[in-house]
Amino acid sequence: MAVYDLEEQEQISELKAWWAQNGKWITTLAVVAALASVGWQGWQWYQNRQAAEAGALYFAVQQAAEANDPKKVREAAGALIGQHGGSVYAQLAALSSAGVQYAAGELDNARSQLEWAAEQGRDPALADLARLRLAAVLLEQGAHDEALARLQAAKVAGNQPRFDDLRGDVLAAQGKPAEARAAYQSAVDALASGGEQAVMLREVIRVKLESLES
């Protein structure tokens, strides 16, 4: 029994020595881990709150768009962009607002909304959509060179045929049939292995090609 007590005392002494050497470091690590956990939970709460606020503002944008009120939808989109410009909701709001502005014949307002969505929006697919719509507005305004500048390589590879198609439209409007044909043909070739929607778009572009050749 005495031998056992002695061994036990030695273990306790070793534990005390180990704790004296490492206890402060372990305590510090425990505190840091606890703070990190609290910080992460706080960040998650903040992110969820921001997303909820952005979603509520986007709902206001949708309501104004459904009411077909260019001024209200523009103001609602501006508020969302100003407060939550880094969210996808802001990019969607800019696109929605641009559609209402365009339908109302306010091309300059539509253009400014699309420029923001194309240049500042974070989602690449939505940025491509904004660039396509912006190029279409510029084409309608006769700003052909600016439209072409917006139709460089798509950020999402699957969108490239639409870029080529619209580039062909701009080049045709500029009186450059050979370059327009090349753009249209590039779009047709890229759509060769697509689905039903690709088939429809390919046929539309083929009509454009034939009109240039006639």
Residues ≥6 apart with Cβ < 8 Å to 116: 81, 94
Nearest to 161 by CA among 137, 139, 144, 183: 183
Integer Cα distance of 205 and 186 in angstroms: 10
Residue reference for tokens 């396509």: 132
Q: What number of residues does the chain have?
A: 214
Q: Which of the four pLDDT bands, split at 50, 70 and 90, describes residue 142?
A: very high
Q: Is the pLDDT confidence value at 123 over 70?
A: yes
Mean pLDDT over 103-125 rounds to 94
pLDDT digit string (tens) for 57-76? 888 889 989 998 999 999 99
Q: Which of the four pLDDT bands, split at 50, 70 and 90, describes residue 11?
A: low
For the entire predicted model, the pTM comes to 0.74
Q: Which residue type occupies 170?
A: V
